[in-house]
Amino acid sequence: MNVYDSERIGELLEAEGYAAAPDAARADVVVLNTCHIREKAAEKVYSDIGRLKASRRPNGIKPVVVVAGCVAQAEGAEIVRRAPAVDVVVGPNAYHRLPAMLKAGGVDTDMPVESKFAVLPPRRAVVPASAFLTVQEGCDKFCTFCVVPYTRGAELSRPADALVAEAEALVAGGARELTLLGQNVNAYRDVTTSFADLLARIAAVRGLVRLRYTTSHPRDMNDELIAAHRDLPQLMPYLHLPVQSGSDRLLKAMNRAHTRASYLAILDRLRAARADIALSGDFIVGFPGETDADFAATLSIVREVGYAQAYSFKYSPRPGTPAATMGEQVPEDVKDARLAELQATIGETALAFNRASVGKRCDVLLERPGRRPGQLIGKSPWLQSVFVVSPSAKIGDIVTVDLIDAQPNSLEGAPVILTRAAA
Ligand code: 5AD
Ligand code: SF4
């Protein structure tokens, strides 16, 4: 989501006459778009500011430093107190006001009534083959570990017509794949347009080949959305559906509003709709009170689901969240050991998933150059990175390959020369 917001901030400043600098060391204005989800991400901004403060441009001028994003939202004026080199602090819902703020300086962490999306300039004329589109922001779920409901505010969906128009603009600019984004993307609703309706409308945009969405909450995974995985050929067979823990006791303490069994039941329904769906998730280790038995339940759900990918994090106490003041905080060395074990287990299931793909024929959307000459890297329908050597192919092409070899994080694809049978 920060990638999407950063692109929009770039477009906004370009419309004001700014141009992208080759690197931060030569920029007149530096915007740090920040993340507050874990302490490590939030602290990084202060070291970045320190580095910028020490830097000078060839003409001796100091850069204007803007802190945007969720650290700006959460820490506001404190940032200027702690880092006086910062000129502007702007939250994720107010960055459309940045052009005026660059002239006046200051702090703006309002949750404005006007939507930034209504005033941001149009999308760039040329965009990558795989592009993001924010359709929903905010969160009403209040998991006890998470700052998002406080930094991003309440769940808010963008109007469906505006989203279809933005999708058409992105496809006109070269996008062949769109990933719809939201903190709770599947909670999307615009008057009578459900999230499944939105997927169907965007899938119908001419020229769009692939559609994805992230991140979802299990409690908004309804029948209609599950059916979309069966009915929409553009919707790729991949779902990121965080579970956080395999222990019911912890899921309750996390206020996740689902159990291990109810989560697994959703996956059964998804697999009935789309047998080959690849699953991904998020996990937290070391949530307050997590015992060896709770952690063992997390390892066992990873094996039971057989995740194709998963992201795992050490619990990080966040200011203002209920879990931060819970008793039984887990010692750091225990968190470290559990994280290592979990990541090794996820590595095993991911490798098993990739190995099971060897022998399949699939399409790959080429996104970037590889290291070897003639090599390109793209994504399979299951979001695996696939290396392809094809002198005739270029970035943005969709090529058909045979998956011939698997690594933990990638596969090798041999291009298939398709010949049309004579009529
Ligand atoms: N500590 C560690 N991980 C967290 N996440 C959210 N809040 C925290 C926290 N306080 C993780 C969750 C979420 C992902 C985006 O970040 O797993 O799904
Ligand atoms: Fe945070 Fe996601 Fe829970 Fe919302 S649903 S509180 S964004 S982890």
Q: Is 143 in the pocket of ligand 2 (CB under 6 A)?
A: yes
Q: Is 337 in the pocket of ligand 1 (CB under 6 A)?
A: no
Q: What is the pLDDT of residue 420?
A: 58
Q: Regarding predicted confidence, which is higher, 16 or 59?
A: 16
Q: Give the ligand 1 atom nearest the CA of 317.
A: 10
Q: What is the pLDDT of residue 276?
A: 97
Q: What is the pLDDT of residue 421?
A: 59
Phi, psi of 230 (to 5 degrees): -85, -35
Spatial distance between the Cα atoms of 385 and 367, rounded to a whole number of angstroms = 10
User: pTM of the full predicted structure?
Assistant: 0.95
Range(s) of the chain covered by CATH 3.40.50.12160: 2-108
Share of the chain above pLDDT 90, in %: 85
DSSP for residue 320: T
DSSP for residue 28: S
Q: What is the pLDDT of residue 379?
A: 98
Give residue 222 CA to ligand 2 midpoint distance, Å.
18
Contact 225, 213 (CB under 8 A): no
Q: What is the pLDDT of residue 338?
A: 98
Q: What is the pLDDT of residue 418?
A: 62
- What are the tens digits of pLDDT across the range 142-173? 999 999 999 999 999 999 999 999 999 999 99
Spatial distance between the Cα atoms of 213 and 374, rounded to a whole number of angstroms = 31
CATH architecture of 361-419: Beta Barrel (2.40)
- What are the tens digits of pLDDT across the range 226-277? 999 999 999 999 999 999 999 999 999 999 999 999 999 999 999 999 999 9
Range(s) of the chain covered by CATH 2.40.50.140: 361-419
Buried b / exposed e along 105-139 (16+ C-beta atoms within 10 A)? eebbbeeeeeebbeebeebbeebbbbbbbbbbbbb
Spatial distance between the Cα atoms of 154 and 213, rounded to a whole number of angstroms = 20
Spatial distance between the Cα atoms of 246 and 249, rounded to a whole number of angstroms = 9
Give residue 321 CA to ligand 1 midpoint distance, Å.
12
Give residue 214 CA to ligand 2 midpoint distance, Å.
12
Q: Is 321 in the pocket of ligand 2 (CB under 6 A)?
A: no
Q: What is the pLDDT of residue 422?
A: 56
Pocket test for ligand 1, best of 145, 325, 332, 338 (most atoms within 8 A of CB): 145
- What are the tens digits of pLDDT across the range 59-111? 778 889 999 999 999 999 899 899 988 999 999 999 999 999 998 888 988 88
Please state which CATH number belongs to domain 116-357. 3.80.30.20
361: tokens are: 């024929």
Pocket test for ligand 2, best of 73, 140, 217, 283 (most atoms within 8 A of CB): 217
Q: Is 142 in the pocket of ligand 2 (CB under 6 A)?
A: yes
CATH architecture of 2-108: 3-Layer(aba) Sandwich (3.40)
Give residue 198 CA to ligand 2 midpoint distance, Å.
22
